[in-house]
Structure formats: C-alpha cells, structure tokens
C-alpha cells in the first residue's frame, strides 16, 4: 500500500489542485498512484499547470534549500550542472528567450539528459506555437511527476 502525505505529494507537483485530487487515499501500488496522478494532471487547468511550473527552477539554476523537492531538482539537473561555460551561457539566454515568448519557466524532464540535449530541446521548443508548447509542458510535467512519485515510494520503503 502507498499513501503519500500532502507534504510528500507537494514535492512531486506544486499544483494544489493536483495534490487535492491525489492525496488522502491509499493506493495498492505505485502503478495505481501513477494512474491517479495522470488522471489528476489531465484534469488541470492551465492556471494549475502554471502553479506547478512556479516551483521549478530554470534549467541550469541550482535549487536552494534542503527540502526533498530541492534535493530532487539538484539531482535531476546534474546533466546541466557540469556543462561548460558556453553551454551554461546558452541555457541562460535560451531560458530568457523562452520566458519572454511563453511567460513561464522552460520545463523539461532533466533526469537522464545532458545539458546539450536540454539546450537542443529548448531551442526546438522555442519554435512551438503556444498551444503546442502547452502540450509539451504538460507531457514534461507528467514525466517529472511520474519520476518523483517513484522516488517518493523508493525513499519511503
């Protein structure tokens, strides 16, 4: 049985609506928790997604603090942390251009991706129209939440 607390869920996704939809019940296993999470994510309004985005640091920025979410974020962005100055500078410029174009932080599942892969995705997604980019953000958010739910259940075993 898996029954994450509200605090644990908040480390996975900062949308209060998502937390309310997923919290307060036991799940048979991680697969059941992930299924409930996916249903809740699919039901989020864009404002709820933006609330979740506000908790994510820019790619290349180091999340501060000792919270579970900050620790996870630093680990997830390990591929960006070791990049050379030229790639770091390109990420900063790309983040700025992205935020000017779309009005929110560039979100990507950083786990398992190098800084160059993230930079290439950022540059590619700058060409998206707003609707296509919202779809991309929702996919990336779902992947991040999925990974974090798995970490949560692993840590609590």
Whole-number CA gyration radius for the chain: 16
What pLDDT, on the 0 to 100 scale, is given for residue 40?
98
If DSSP codes are grouped into helix, strand and coil, which group holds residue 113?
coil
Q: Is the pLDDT of residue 17 over 60?
A: yes
What pLDDT, on the 0 to 100 scale, is given for residue 78?
56
Sequence-separated (6 or more) residues with CB below 8 Å from residue 6: 19, 23, 24
What pLDDT, on the 0 to 100 scale, is given for residue 57?
82
Q: Is the pLDDT of residue 104 over 90?
A: yes
Enter the pTM of the model.
0.88
Q: Is the pLDDT of residue 116 over 60?
A: yes
Q: C-alpha distances in angstroms, 98 versus 4, 22, 27, 107, 126?
A: 34, 31, 38, 10, 6
pLDDT tens, residue by residue, 32-90: 999 999 999 999 999 999 999 998 888 766 655 666 665 655 556 556 667 788 988 89
Any catalytic annotation for residue 56?
yes
- Residue 153: which pLDDT band, with cuts at 50, 70 and 90? confident
What pLDDT, on the 0 to 100 scale, is given for residue 88?
87
What pLDDT, on the 0 to 100 scale, is given for residue 80?
64
Best CA proximity match to 74, nearest among 89, 86, 84, 60: 60
Q: Exactly one of 17, 56, 58, 151 is catalytic; which is it?
A: 56
If DSSP codes are grouped into helix, strand and coil, which group holds residue 27?
strand
What pLDDT, on the 0 to 100 scale, is given for residue 62?
60
């Amino acid at each position: 049985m898996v029954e994450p607390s509200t605090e644990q869920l908040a480390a996975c996704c900062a949308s209060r609506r998502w937390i309310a939809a997923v919290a307060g019940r036991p799940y048979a296993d991680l697969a059941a928790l992930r299924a409930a999470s996916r249903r809740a994510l699919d039901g989020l309004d864009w404002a709820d997604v933006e609330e979740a985005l506000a908790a994510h640091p820019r790619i290349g920025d180091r999340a501060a603090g000792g919270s579970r979410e900050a620790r996870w974020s630093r680990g997830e962005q390990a591929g960006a942390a070791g990049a050379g100055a030229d790639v770091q500078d390109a990420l900063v410029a790309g983040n700025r251009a992205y935020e000017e174009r779309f009005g929110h932080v560039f979100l990507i599942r950083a786990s398992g991706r190098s800084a160059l892969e993230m930079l290439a995705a950022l540059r590619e997604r700058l060409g998206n129209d707003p609707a296509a980019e919202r779809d991309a953000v929702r996919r990336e958010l779902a992947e991040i939440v999925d990974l974090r739910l798995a970490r949560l259940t692993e840590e609590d075993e």
